[in-house]
Amino acid sequence: MSEIQALLEQLRGQIQQLIVDLKAQIFGENNERLDFLVDSFYKLSAPQRTGVLAGIFAGIGVFMTLFTIFYFVQINSLRNELSKSFEAIHELRELKTEYARIDATYSRLERDLSSATSEFRVKPFLEKIANEQGVLIEGINEQRLDLPSDNPLNSNFQETRVDWRLSNISIPKLLTFLVEVEKSGNYVRIYDLTIKGRFGNRLYFDATTIKAHAYSRK
């Protein structure tokens, strides 16, 4: 405790010495500068003294005015910064809520997709639908591709592109077949279809190319 008091006393002494040195720099060693100013002031005529005092008070008034303006400008700036900070916090909270909602939706989609595609195979699936609908399916070709790097499903899933042909099929039956493919819940989507008419037959057609894509686990 005595060491702390000694340190405080030393610090107090240094501050006092600093004040003394500062007074000496401003007013002189024995206040000779202050005395000189006072003597000079009293040597002036009454109108001159009045002018000096008016100038001093005017300078003080200008300084106080500038200080007040600066103070309120800084206060207003601080208020603006605080307002922006609160707005940023509010926006961050909204984004956090939105992120949580989107993340929950994504997690649900990934679970559903994983469940639907864990044991899914495109070719047996298409052959099964064709048998159920009584249509002839030919030339099923599959190609597995990585998803784009910016796709969040890229780490766990691949895209399977598949094309096939249907021959001698009516338009209503073709549409029924395509609807059954897409509504199966296996995330198979048709993205291209080419239909070619059969010579001499206006009721039946050849669906020369049907292209679809599906997801599959890596």
- Residue where the block lists tokens 């060693």: 29
State the Cα–Cα distance between residues 7 and 207, nearest whole angstrom.
98
Question: Is the torsion defined by CA of 120, 123, 124, 127 positive or negative?
Answer: positive
Q: For residue 117, count other CB atoms closer than 10 A to its CB.
A: 21
Mean pLDDT, consecutive 10-residue stretches, the chain (218 aa), reads: 63 72 65 64 69 75 84 82 84 88 84 76 88 88 84 80 86 88 84 78 70 74
Given a contact cutoff of 8 angstroms between Cβ atoms, the answer to whether 90 and 182 are in contact is no
Q: Is CATH 3.30.70.60 the right assignment for the domain spanning 122-217? A: yes
pTM: 0.50
Per-residue CA distances from 88 to 78, 100, 133, 156 (Å): 15, 18, 58, 35
pLDDT at 139: 87
Residues comprising the chain, all counted: 218
pLDDT at 12: 74
State the Cα–Cα distance between residues 137 and 142, nearest whole angstrom.
14
Domain boundaries, the chain: 122-217
